[in-house]
Amino acid sequence: MSELATIENDLTAKIDAAATEAALEEVRVAALGKKGVVSEQMKTLGKMSPEERKEMGPALNGLKTRIAEAIEAKKQALAEAALDARLASEKVDVTLPVRPEPKGKIHPVSQVMEEIIAIFSAMGFDVAEGPDIEDDFHNFTALNFPPDHPAREMHDTFFFEPKDDGARMLLRTHTSPVQIRTMMTQKPPIRIIIPGRTFRCDSDQTHTPMFHQVEGLVIDKQTHMGHLKGTLEAFAKTFFEVDDVKTRFRPHFFPFTEPSAEMDIQYERVGKEIRFGQGADWMEILGCGMVHPNVLKNCGLDPDEYQGFAWGMGVDRLAMLKYGIPDLRDFFAADARWLEHYGFDPVDQPNLATGLSR
C-alpha cells in the first residue's frame, strides 16, 4: 500500500471514530492543520521533480479534498446527532393541561338586542333611545292613556317621590315614550326601533320589576296594517331562524293603537323544548297596531295626513323562547354559571350575512 493510501485509511478511520465535534476538530488539525499529515505531505511537493509532482500533485489534492469532505460530512452527522439528542432530552408531556384562560361572555339580552337590530336595520329602521326616568306626559298622557287608566296606578308603575309642584316622575313602563319624543322632534317619514330597559312594579315567576323591550314605529303617508303584518312576519322568520314560522294576528286592545292586534306564533312543546314552525298551539309574542289618531295629534301630526304602525315586544322573553332559557328571573341574578352557559362568545356578532347565531 502506498504511503498516501495508508494516510488516507488512517485518517478515515480516525474521522469515523471521532465521537464529538472536539475530537473531530483534533482529527482535522492533525490532518489538515499547518502541521497536519496531509499538509506535511503537501510541503514535500516543492522538492519533487516536475514528473513526480505531476503525479503526486493531483493525488495529494485529491486526498486533501476527500479528507476535508469526510470531516465536513462527519461534522454534519455529529451536529444532527447532537440536535437529535438535545431534542430527545427536551421531550415534555404534551398531555399536560394548558393554563386556563377565563372566557368572557355576552349576556343573552345584549346578544338578542343586537340580533333584533340587525334584522330591522336591514329593513331601514334607525335605532332610537330615550331615558329610563320619564314624566307622566311621555309615558301616559301623550300615548292616549285616559287620566285614570288602571296602568297608571301604583301597582303597575314605579313612581318617584313627588316634587314640590306635585308632579311625579316615574320609571317608564314601556319604551313607547321614545315614540313620542321622536315624533315631536322629527318630521315623518319615521322608521325607528327603540330598545331599552322598562320597569313595572310586578314580580313573580314570569315578571321581573325590570325587563327589556324593543318597540318599533313607522310613520309616513301610506303605511298600513298590511305592512305591519309583512314586517313582523319577516321579523319572526328571521329572528327564530326557522323557515316556516307561522304567525297569526288577533284583534286586541292598547290605548295607543287603533286597530290593535297581538301577533301569535305557532309552536309545539317537545319535552322541555319549544319548537316553532310546527304543532298546533299559539303563543303571543308581541302587541302592535296602527298608531292611534290621538297619539298622532298629541305629537302635532294630522291623522288624516300621516299614518303608520307601532309594536312592542319583550326582549327577555324572545331570548327565552329562542334559546330555551327557562326562568326570566335568572337573567338578572348575575350567576356566573348561568352567564357562562347561556352567554355568547364575543366573536359571535349577529349579522344577517352569516346567520344571526351559530
Partner 1 sequence: MKFTLSWLKEHLETDASLDEIVETMVAVGLEVESVENPEERLAAFTIGEVLHAEKHPDADKLKVCKVATKDGEMQIVCGAPNARAGIKIAYAPVGSYVPGIDVTLSKAKIRGVESHGMMCSARELEMGDDHDGIIEAPAGAGVGDPVSQWLGVNDPVIDFEVTPNRPDTNGVNGVARDLAAAGLGRLVTPAPAAVKGEGPCPQKIELRFDGETKDACPAFAGRYIKGVKNGPSPQWLQDRLRAIGLRPISALVDITNYVTYDRARPLHVYDADKLAGVIHARLGAQGENFLALDDKQCEVDETMTVIADNNGVLGLGGVIGGESTGCTEETVNVFVECAYFDPLRTAKTGRKTGLNTDARYRFERGVDPAFIMPGIEMATQLILDLCGGAPSEVELAGEIPQTDKTVLFPPSEVKRLTGMDVEPEECERILTALGFAVSKSDPWQVDAPSWRPDIEGKADLVEEIARIVGFDHLPTATLPLSKAVETPKLTVGQERRRLARRALAARGMLEAVTWSFLDARHAGLFASPDDLKSKGLVLANPIASDLGVMRPSILPNLINALQRNADRGRADLALFEVAPLYGDDRPEGHVNAAAGARRSAPPRHWQGAAAGADVFTVKADAIAALEAAGAPTPSLQTTADAPGYFHPGRSGVLRLGPKVLAHFGEIHPRVLKEMDVDGAVHGFEVFLDAIPAGKKKPTKTKPALDAPELLPLTRDFAFVVDAAVTGEALLKAVRGAEKKLIAGASLFDVYEGKGVPEGKKSLAVEVTLQPRERTLTDEDIDAVSTRIISQVGKATGGVLRA
Interacting positions 213-232 with partner 1 (CB under 8 A):
218, 223-231
Interface pick for partner 1 out of 78, 127, 242, 283 (rule CB under 8 A): 127
Output the smallest distance, CB 246 to partner 1, in A: 11
Smallest separation, CB 320 to partner 1 (Å): 14
Complex with partner 1: residue 62 or 346, whichever CB lies closer = 346
> Which of positions 93-122 make contact with partner 1 (CB under 8 A)?
96-97, 99-107, 109-110, 114, 117, 120-122
Among residues 47, 163, 187, 272, the one that binds partner 1 under rule CB under 8 A? 163
Cell 313627588 found at: 162
Instruction: List residues bridging with 265 in a β-sheet.
Output: 247, 283
Only segment of 1-9, 41-49, 66-74, 124-132 that touches partner 1 (CB under 8 A): 124-132
Does residue 140 interact with partner 1 by CB under 8 A? no
165: DSSP letter: T
CA distances from 10 to 82, 125, 133, 280 (A): 25, 91, 100, 97
Identify residues 180-199 at the interface with partner 1 (CB under 8 A): 191, 197, 199
* 39 near partner 1, judged by CB under 8 A: no
Closest CA to 302 of 238, 245, 221: 221
| Interface with partner 1, residue 166, by CB under 8 A | no
Query: What span, in angstroms and rounded, lies between the C-alpha atoms of 209 and 200?
Result: 5
Does position 339 interact with partner 1 (CB under 8 A)? The reply is yes
Which helix H or strand E contains 252, and what residues bound it?
A: strand 247-254
**What is the smallest separation between the CB atom of 187 and partner 1, expressed in angstroms?**
15
Give the CA-trace dihedral at 61, 62, 63, 68, to 10 degrees: 90
Name 255's Cβ contacts closer than 8 Å, sequence gap at least 6.
Answer: 143, 144, 145, 146, 149, 292
Q: Which residues pair with 262 in a beta bridge?
A: 250, 287
Q: Mutual orientation of helices 50-89 and 3-17 as an angle, nearest 10°? A: 10
323 binds partner 1 (CB under 8 A): no
Q: How far is the CB of 87 from partner 1 (least distance, A)?
A: 21
Binders in 5-34 for partner 1, by CB under 8 A: none
Q: Which is nearer to partner 1, 4 or 332 (CB)?
A: 332
